[in-house]
Amino acid sequence: MEKVNLYKQLLSERNSSIESKNIDNFLKSIFERKDIKQTLNKKNTDSFNQLDFDKMETKNIFHLKNIEKICIKYRLRFLDSNLFKGDYPKNISNIISDIENLHKTKLKNFMIMAPSKLFKIKSPDDPLLFVPIGNDYYYLIHKWGNEFNNLRKILVLPFKNIDNLTIFSILVSVVFAFIGKLIFPDMSMSEVFILFLFLVKGFIFIFFYTFFLTRKNFNESIWNSKYDSF
């Protein structure tokens, strides 16, 4: 099964909305806006880092919308690093120190994109470390761990939103109705349809009840949620 590189997925998501030849000019114009300087004076957890644009690698700059789409697609979360319970790579201090020396600043307000379980228990899956740089843009500091199996996108697809879970319930009902027809070939189409309706009602109840009973929520709701109950 093909592995999924989250970094490449982010690049693809970002570049699909901007022509690659215009990325440098587009991003530079964002960071040259005067209103960014006003936000630099904020002394709260929402403050961002002032990096030298000419020293940043444009391939590591991502907008929050790009991050959100990848999180929803692969059922990931994008949260403050203080909530992260996984292991950092041994050289993470050197990596951050090199970037700080390059930009002559102290990085702050780190954010991490990773599976939900990495914010509760240790796991080797693929985290990405970011810092905010203003206007909902984030700079990728480092990526470590293993790449995702491409099957993950399919497995979490039913949990993207309520529509997907409903459609999944209907598709499962179709499969079971078809199996019922194979087991009982004498069933008429009207009987198969009645069976299908019964199955839809049953599977929707089972899937939704189990989903919420286990205190789960949809990808679109949890990608930046700080609550462990999701």
What is the full per-residue pLDDT of the chain (230 aa) written as tens digits?
667 788 888 888 887 766 665 677 666 666 555 443 333 333 335 677 888 888 888 889 999 999 999 998 888 888 888 778 877 788 888 888 888 889 988 888 888 888 877 776 445 556 888 888 888 888 888 887 766 677 777 888 888 888 888 889 999 999 999 888 888 888 888 888 888 888 888 888 888 888 777 667 787 777 777 655 44
Classify residue 73: in a domain, yes or no. Answer: yes
Which of 152, 178, 196 is the endpoint of a domain?
152
From the list 199, 142, 213, the residue with the least C-alpha distance to 170 is 199
- Say if residue 84 is in the same domain as residue 36: yes
From the list 212, 229, 222, 199, the residue with the least C-alpha distance to 74 is 222
Give CA separation, 130 vs 115, 147, 158, 168, in Å.
Answer: 15, 17, 28, 34
Which of 114, 136, 152 is the endpoint of a domain?
152
- Say if residue 41 is in the same domain as residue 135: yes
- Say if residue 110 is in the same domain as residue 31: yes
Give CA separation, 197 vs 37, 156, 168, 177, 180, in Å.
Answer: 59, 25, 14, 9, 13
Classify residue 229: in a domain, yes or no. Answer: no
- Cβ proximity of 2 and 150 under 8 Å: yes
Start-to-end Cα distance in the chain: 28
- Cβ proximity of 111 and 133 under 8 Å: no
Element (H, E) at 126: none
- Say if residue 97 is in the same domain as residue 111: yes
- Say if residue 33 is in the same domain as residue 133: yes
Written as six digits, the tokens of 182 are 């194979």
Angle at CA of residue 219, ends 218 and 220, nearest 5°:
90
- Say if residue 104 is in the same domain as residue 203: no
- Say if residue 88 is in the same domain as residue 186: no
Which of 152, 172, 188 is the endpoint of a domain?
152
- Cβ proximity of 159 and 218 under 8 Å: yes
- Say if residue 130 is in the same domain as residue 176: no
Classify residue 104: in a domain, yes or no. Answer: yes
Write out the residue range of the structural domain in which residue 200 sits: 156-222
- Taking residue 66's Cβ as centre, other Cβ atoms within 10 Å add up to 22
- Say if residue 54 is in the same domain as residue 125: yes
What is the C-alpha to C-alpha distance for residues 164 and 23, in angstroms, rounded to an integer? 33
- Say if residue 124 is in the same domain as residue 193: no
Classify residue 178: in a domain, yes or no. Answer: yes
Q: Give residue 42's pLDDT.
A: 36
Classify residue 51: in a domain, yes or no. Answer: yes
- Say if residue 15 is in the same domain as residue 103: yes
User: Domains in the chain: how many in total?
Assistant: 2
Classify residue 206: in a domain, yes or no. Answer: yes
Classify residue 194: in a domain, yes or no. Answer: yes
What is the C-alpha to C-alpha distance for residues 157 and 149, in angstroms, rounded to an integer? 14
Residues 6+ apart with CB under 8 A from 114: 76, 77, 84, 86, 125, 126, 127, 128
Classify residue 227: in a domain, yes or no. Answer: no
- Say if residue 82 is in the same domain as residue 137: yes
Q: Give residue 121's pLDDT.
A: 45
